[in-house]
Structure 1
Amino acid sequence: MPVRYKTCLLIDDNYIDNFVTRKILESGNFAEDIVVHQSPTDAITALRNGSVKPDVIFLDIRMPEMTGFEFLVEFETIEMEEKEKVKIFMLSSSLDPTDMSNSLDNKYVAQFVHKPLTHQTLEDLCK
C-alpha cells in the first residue's frame, strides 16, 4: 500500500493513545513521517516556526493544557503555506454530540473520529 501523506501530526496528551495511534498509522503506511506532540502548545510552536509542516493532523479534543477547539482557534492565526489543504481529524473518545457538531463546523476539520483509531477507520478516511 502506498504512503498517503508526507507528514502527519498527532496531538494528544495521552501517551498510550499516541502510542496506539502511531502504530496504526505506521502499519497502515499512512504517512512518511509521523510527528507526535503531547502538548498542543508545543504543536502550535512547531507549526509557527515551521519545524513541522503537516498534510494531516489528528487532534484530541479533551486536553488539560489547551482543548482541541482552542488549538483550532490558534491554528487559524498561524501563517503557513497551503494551510487550507491541511486535513484535521478530530480524534476523540468524547460521546458529546456538541463536540462532534463543533468539530464539523470548523472549516479545517475534515472528520470526527472516535478513539481508538482502527485499521478499518483509517481505510475509511482514505477513501
Structure 2
Amino acid sequence: MSSNRAIVLIDDNEVDLYLHEQLIRHTGVFSPVWSFRGPAAALDFLASLPYSEPSATYSIVLLVDIKMPSMDGFSFIDRFEKLPLTLRHRCSIVLLSATLMVSDTIRAEAHPSVAFFIEKPLTVSALLEVAEGLA
C-alpha cells in the first residue's frame, strides 16, 4: 500500500518504539516512518525538513508519547507550535499514552493541536482509524 503520509514516532520507551514502528511498517498506511527516542531530536529533525518546497507535499503524522522524562507530550506540542506555520499545517499530532490518568486524557482530547488521543498499546485498528480520520 502506498502512502502520501509520513509518520514520526516519538517515545522514550525503546520497546514500544520498536513495536510501533514494526506495526506501522507492516500496515503500510504511513511511509516513510521516522523514529525518535527523544522529543528534542524529533523537533530538530522536523525543523530541518524542506517544508516550503513544492515537492514536500506529503502530510506528516506525529505520534507522540505523553509521558517522557525529558519533555512530555504537551511540552513537545508547545515547542512544535514555534516551528514555521507551513510545516505545522502539514502535520497532525496524535498523542499516545499508557496512562490511566483521566486528567491526561481530558487534556489531550481538549487540546486544539491534538487530532487524536490513543491509549497504548497501539493497534492496527487504532492506526487505521487515525489514517481514515486524517484523510
Using the size of structure 2 for normalisation, the TM-score is 0.84
Q: 1:11-39 deviations in whole A, cap 9, x for unaligned?
A: 00011000110111111112121000101
Contact 1:8 1:55 (8 Å CA) reproduced: yes
Q: 1:53-110 deviations in whole A, cap 9, x for unaligned?
A: 8610100011010000100100111115241341111111011111111112222211
Choose from 66, 76, 90 the match for 2:71: 66
State the SS of the aligned residue for 2:31. strand
What are the equivalent positions in structure 2 for 1:1-40 lying under 5 Å apart?
2-40=1-39
Instruction: Give, in angstroms, the shift of residue 3 of structure 1.
Output: 3.2
**How many residues end up aligned between the 2 structures?**
126
Q: C-alpha root-mean-square deviation of aligned residues, in Å?
A: 1.9
Contact 2:29 2:128 (8 Å CA) reproduced: no
Runs of 5+ consecutive residues of structure 1 not aligned to the other structure:
none
Which moves more between the two structures, 46-55 or 110-119?
46-55
Which moves more between the two structures, 12-21 or 47-56?
47-56
Q: Distance in 2 between matches of 1:124 and 1:8?
A: 14
Instruction: Give, in angstroms, the shift of residue 49 of structure 1.
Output: 2.4
Q: Distance in 2 between matches of 1:90 and 1:4?
A: 21
Using the size of structure 1 for normalisation, the TM-score is 0.89
